[in-house]
Amino acid sequence: MAFDTIIKNGTIVTAADVFVADIGIEAGKIIAMGTQLGPAPEMIDATGLLVMPGGIDSHVHLAQPSPPGIVMADDFETGTRSAAVGGNTMVLPFCLQQRGQSLREALLDYGRKADQACHVDVAMHLIVTDPTPQVLGQELPALIAEGYTSIKIFMTYDDMKLNDREILQVLDVARRHKALVMVHAEGYDAIQFLTEHLESEGKTAPYYHGRSRPVAVEREATHRAISLAEIVDTPVMIVHVSNRQSMDEIKRARERGLPVFGETCPQYLVLTEQDMRRDGMEGAKYVCSPPPRDSESQHACWEGLQQGIFEVVSSDHSPFRYDDVAGKLAPAGRRSFRYVPNGIPGVAARMPILFSEGVVKGRIDLNRFVALTSTNHAKRYGLYPKKGTIAIGSDADIVLWDAGRRVTITHDLLKDGCDYTPYEGLDVTGWPVRTILRGKTIAENGDVSSDPLGEVVTRTHKA
């Protein structure tokens, strides 16, 4: 057999196995696994390293239009550059339909932004904010058939929220055309009520962001989202789950046989609401929704990962610069937490944090790490087995991982377009040393290839 690249002597980890073998790659695909393969023009020595499927981060926001005056810190180039540095070979960003816009227009915009810019492969989810008869009746069914098989909806945010009737309408289209709806589950009215109350008491610092969205706000919306999905009889993914009570809603639904899936994120595993208490506006660096909770919530999220209640860990990378009037220090945000842009960067830190806090600390094993960071994302979003595993016929999307390397996370390591990381100073053990996309090295020891080799991957529609 002729190969253009061979990865030699590494310990291969998939969601099911751990074994030592060489990997033979030809034209971007894995075509052989065994011992004594080769030679090939490019020989990559993986002695002493783990060889895992490249990370797939199925929840990132890149170049997403934001409220007036606010600009997201990453475009497709910088966001995917950071993803590659963090061991990822694919991300699934969101195409946000702005109200009054058609989904096709929104996709054209994003297509232009992503074109020739991506360092890793991408596939877009849709965000529906304006479910007009045209969107529900024509655009969505057509786009689902073209492979846009996942749709995010919001239960909060002024310019994005759907009411229950609209949610049911979107869920119904998803059921009929076989798409998966991802739900941002926080209750709008309760957040408005609490925000006004806090502001009337002068409680406007970033810390009160968390107080305006307590666990009950998320739990209630999670319960409602699951109920609406049950009424329509269609699967849902509850994204960015932060706490035990919301997790228990998912658990109960699954015990009743409902196809309800869960995602959690590193911020709910290692940050708490105390981070939002930092001096002055520093707390704004940690403002995201749902907000980080407390150590018992962290513990619950780990249990959810161990028990399979959560099937994916995503970053929810949603970067806004800190020292910037178009970011976390927007003038209005100094008046009240309600105007601080929601979201934190994390696409590069996701895998190191889960590896260090999960595998190294004995909370999850290596196979589960691969499932949570890659395989399950590929399966759930229609990319498997092309993506998400190391197997003959799969794309050669691979991360070489030094399981013993100790690193203190600092922003400069992450190569994103932001100016801070919420994980600054976190010590981790285990680090990606080389990221390989379809057989080509795209990042090595923190340096990213100048050539963006990422492609837009079309998902095939199952119906």
Site of interaction with ligand URP (CB under 6 A): 61, 184, 240, 288-289, 316, 318, 342-343
**Comparison of 177 and 405: residue with beta carbon closer to Zn ion:** 177
- Taking the complex as a whole, the smallest distance from the CB of residue 112 to Zn ion amounts, in Å, to 22
Prior bond to 385 cis, omega within 30?
yes
- Taking the complex as a whole, the smallest distance from the CB of residue 389 to ligand URP amounts, in Å, to 27
**Comparison of 184 and 223: residue with beta carbon closer to ligand URP:** 184
Q: Which of 113, 177, 211, 405 binds Zn ion (CB under 5 A)?
A: 177
**Comparison of 184 and 244: residue with beta carbon closer to Zn ion:** 184
- Taking the complex as a whole, the smallest distance from the CB of residue 183 to ligand URP amounts, in Å, to 10
Q: Which of 184, 223, 328, 434 binds Zn ion (CB under 5 A)?
A: 184
- Taking the complex as a whole, the smallest distance from the CB of residue 146 to Zn ion amounts, in Å, to 10
Q: Tell me: does residue 175 bind Zn ion (CB under 5 A).
A: no
- Taking the complex as a whole, the smallest distance from the CB of residue 287 to ligand URP amounts, in Å, to 7
Binding partner of 288, given Zn ion, ligand URP, none, CB within 5-8 angstroms per partner class: ligand URP
Restricted to residues 121-160, the positions that interact with Zn ion (CB under 5 A) are 145
Size of the site for Zn ion (CB under 5 A): 5
**Comparison of 61 and 379: residue with beta carbon closer to ligand URP:** 61
Binding partner of 357, given ligand URP, Zn ion, none, CB within 5-8 angstroms per partner class: none
- Taking the complex as a whole, the smallest distance from the CB of residue 393 to ligand URP amounts, in Å, to 34
**Comparison of 5 and 66: residue with beta carbon closer to ligand URP:** 66
- Tell me how far apart the alpha carbons of residues 53 and 424 are, in angstroms, rounded to a whole number: 26
Residue 375 near residue 384 (C-beta atoms within 8 A): yes
Secondary structure of the chain as H, E, C letters: CCCCEEEEEEEEECCCCEEEEEEEEECCEEEEEECCCCCCCEEEECCCCEEEECEEEEEECCCCCCCCCCCCCCCHHHHHHHHHHCCEEEEEEEEECCCCCCHHHHHHHHHHHHCCCCCCEECCEEECCCCCHHHHHHHHHHHHHCCCCEEEEECCCCCCECCHHHHHHHHHHHHHHCCEEEEECCCHHHHHHHHHHHHHCCCCCCHHHHHCCCHHHHHHHHHHHHHHHHHHCCCEEECCCCCHHHHHHHHHHHHCCCCEEEEECCHHHHCCHHHHHCCCCHHHHHCCCCCCCCHHHHHHHHHHHHHCCCCEECCCECCCCCCCCCCCCCHHHHHCHHHCCCCECCCCCHHHHHHHHHHHCCCCCHHHHHHHHHHHHHHHCCCCCCCCCCCCCCECCEEEEEEEEEEECCHHHCCCCCCCCCCCCCEEEEEEEEEEECCEEEEECCEECCCCCCCECCCCCCC
Cβ of 23: how many Cβ atoms within 10 Å? 26
- Taking the complex as a whole, the smallest distance from the CB of residue 367 to Zn ion amounts, in Å, to 27
Q: Tell me: does residue 463 bind Zn ion (CB under 5 A).
A: yes
- Taking the complex as a whole, the smallest distance from the CB of residue 259 to ligand URP amounts, in Å, to 22
- Taking the complex as a whole, the smallest distance from the CB of residue 428 to ligand URP amounts, in Å, to 22
**Comparison of 73 and 359: residue with beta carbon closer to Zn ion:** 73
Q: Tell me: does residue 397 bind Zn ion (CB under 5 A).
A: no
**Comparison of 30 and 288: residue with beta carbon closer to ligand URP:** 288
CA-nearest of 386, 429, 369, 384 to 404 is: 429
**Comparison of 341 and 439: residue with beta carbon closer to ligand URP:** 341
Binding partner of 177, given Zn ion, ligand URP, none, CB within 5-8 angstroms per partner class: Zn ion
Q: Could you give the count of Cα atoms lying within 13 Å of 381 in the half-sphere of its Cβ?
A: 32
- Taking the complex as a whole, the smallest distance from the CB of residue 67 to ligand URP amounts, in Å, to 12
x/- mask, Zn ion, residues 282-321, rule CB under 5 A, reads ----------------------------------x-----
**Comparison of 343 and 452: residue with beta carbon closer to ligand URP:** 343
Binding partner of 463, given ligand URP, Zn ion, none, CB within 5-8 angstroms per partner class: Zn ion
**Comparison of 333 and 343: residue with beta carbon closer to ligand URP:** 343
- Enumerate binding residues for Zn ion (CB under 5 A): 145, 177, 184, 316, 463
